[in-house]
Amino acid sequence: MTTYTARPLTPITLKELRTSDDAGRPMLPFTDDEGGAPLRCCLRRSAPGERIALVSYAPLRRWAAETGTDPGAYDEQGPVFIHADDCPGPADATLPFTDAHRTVRRYSTDGRILGGRLVEDPSGFEGAFAEAFADAEVAAVQVRAVEYGCFLYEVRRP
């Protein structure tokens, strides 16, 4: 059985987003009084009292730049939560944010959407990833929140 790993935002990406997000806006940190925000830097939910920020992030644009691909019309940006200051990253290799319905969206090596799958149960993620990567054209998948379509993390071909 293949184990799939969620990819957090890289330290370089985090440094850039803390200066200016992918929409060109400066980071505006705040204290999270309630907790529960899905942090893309360490792939866990925030705790009450942590300093975090909501920034605009363009996951496919950054992936395309890394791979030399043109994201075309699929270039989008959306809100993600990050720590306002450096953090150690994920504490373990478990798949995060599996506590609600999620969409596993497939992307080809040329940055085009190849489809997706709704995952309604935490036990369905491994199967959704295996199904996605059984297609040789799939280079990466993005896990997104169903409610708002927000990017949660990426999984790449093992």
Instruction: Locate the domains of the chain by residue range.
Output: 11-83, 102-156
In this structure, the dihedral spanned by the alpha carbons of residues 109, 110, 113 and 118, taken in order and rounded to 10 degrees, is 10
Task: Indicate the DSSP class of residue 3.
Answer: P
Q: Is the pLDDT of residue 32 over 80?
A: yes
User: What is the percent of the chain where pLDDT is above 90?
Assistant: 80
Give the count of beta carbons closer than 10 Å to the beta carbon of residue 102.
Answer: 26
Cite the beta strand spans of the chain per DSSP E.
30-32, 38-39, 44-45, 50-57, 78-83, 102-108, 113-119, 138-145, 151-156
Structure tokens at 64: 């395309």
The answer for residues whose C-beta is within 8 angstroms of residue 66's C-beta and 6 or more apart is none
In this structure, are residues 153 and 5 in contact, taking their beta carbons and an 8 Å threshold? no
Predicted local distance difference test score (pLDDT) of residue 20: 97
- Hey, which residues does 102 pair with through a beta bridge? 119, 145
Q: Is the pLDDT of residue 149 over 90?
A: no
Q: Is 148 helix (H, G, I), strand (E, B) or coil?
A: coil
Q: Is the pLDDT of residue 113 over 90?
A: yes
Q: What would the mean pLDDT of 72-90 be, rounded to a whole number?
A: 93
